[in-house]
Chain A
């Protein structure tokens, strides 16, 4: 299967935007980086709207867009509802910020963190997982999305803080961007390892089926090989390795930025690598997700 780019873009932007909004709320709760807050708010809202746009790009009937709130049990409906809630919470945050001259009440920030966390969970459920995924796969997918958001959010807040408040020599969120980067690297590697193990067991272990199907309606198409269904096999191998490599490097840059105080260039490098890593993770997921083969492992 080819990568579903609108879905990939939507998932990356939503996890990123939600992570940044949660980091902003956490900074407000801790009373850190007051000058960075409006900038972070604007970037977070742009990312959330870009995520919504990604979903719309995938949709062919914009005139019926509101139908997508109709099936409450669908992970996509839940994701869209959470997105609306988080955007509403962001507006509440802005109003509270303007009224109290920067001091946002703690319940507003706490609600923002909870809403953003919920959104990231639904992103993991809807984007990475076809519905046939076994329970463990669904949990792993949600964990991977949470790990990515935990890396992207604090890193981008740190970057905004580094740019808007050049005087400060301290990090805005302490070691959070480095911890987030570490967690992100672990969840990325963990999810790819899970995919490899689950699909190897279900597809390759049987030693039957795959590599035998020929579709006469596509005589030129190559036959799916077992390797093409594995993250660490076929053409996905370099992408999977790059996903983990970028996540580890992002962690290293975030750690270096933490140790050396505010260094926007280092944080920016970490952030770019973390974005690339999560994007590659989703691309690998789609590219290895050839329909049918070893479906039980998806």
Chain B
């Protein structure tokens, strides 16, 4: 089994919205729709609050969680929303009738009707790039190197992000971007600060089993956040 997913290390996220912009560019997401959006959670008082600066906050990138028991898939009357072999949830745009039943069925409000094509769309985990060995654009362009992509069944420490390769062969005639980029990956296990299992969170799970993970250390995870 494979279950592709993304892990975001929230202690590294700087809220630059690079992921949001990269997603829009890579996938041609319509104005007003966000396959990837960022919430600011807080500021809230720390547990030992004394002074006004005893506050904390974090940024929370929200996108399709590629749920294990995806409610959007079970309500879809056409079967256009599907759970794929790689664990991602995809929408067949030839089959979708744009009934939008899946839109309120998703607990995280990540589905949008494309007003031009009249079908519903959402994060695809950049299947067009992943199929060719690439990474989702939000992972690729993350300004804080906070996002990692991989197979949940192999453990989140194996999830990968791009790394900069400096030891290139300067004698070689090939200075192309691709030659530097290939294989230049760093794993979460190699890069991230230590974290405990209790630091790994999912969004509120109503039995839908969100596959996406978030790491948050030394701060209180706020559940019950509104995503609409």
Contact = CB atoms under 8 A, between A and B. Distances in A.
Nearest to A297: B206
Interface string B62-83: 0000000001101111111000
B223 A208 contact: yes
A7 to B, nearest CB: 8
Contacts of A73: 74
Interface residues of B, number: 51
A94 to B, nearest CB: 28
Given A58-B99, A60-B98, A292-B225, A212 B106 contact: no
A213 B43 CA distance: 9
Contacts of B72: 131
A31 interface: no
A69 B99 CA distance: 13
Interface residues of A, number: 53
A202 B44 CA distance: 20
Given A60-B97, A215-B39, A291 B34 contact: no
A224 interface: yes
Contacts of B190: none
Interface string B212-228: 00000000101111111
B86 interface: no
B203 interface: yes
Contact of A132 (B40, B101, B207): B207
Interface string A1-14: 10010000000000
A166 to B, nearest CB: 44
Given A58-B100, A292-B108, A215 B225 contact: no
Interface string A121-137: 00000100011111000
B191 interface: no
Of listed B75, B105, B207, residue having the most chain A CB within 10 A: B75
B79 A70 contact: yes
Given A132-B105, A212-B44, A71 B77 contact: yes
A84 interface: no
B71 A70 contact: no
Interface in A242-298: 286, 289-298
Interface in B38-67: 38-42, 44, 60
Contacts of A168: none
A75 interface: yes
Contact of B226 (A126, A133, A224): A224
Given A134-B207, A291-B228, A295-B204, 19 more contacts: A59-B99, A61-B118, A61-B119, A68-B77, A68-B97, A73-B74, A76-B77, A126-B75, A131-B74, A203-B224, A214-B41, A215-B39, A216-B17, A217-B20, A229-B226, A291-B227, A292-B225, A292-B228, A293-B226
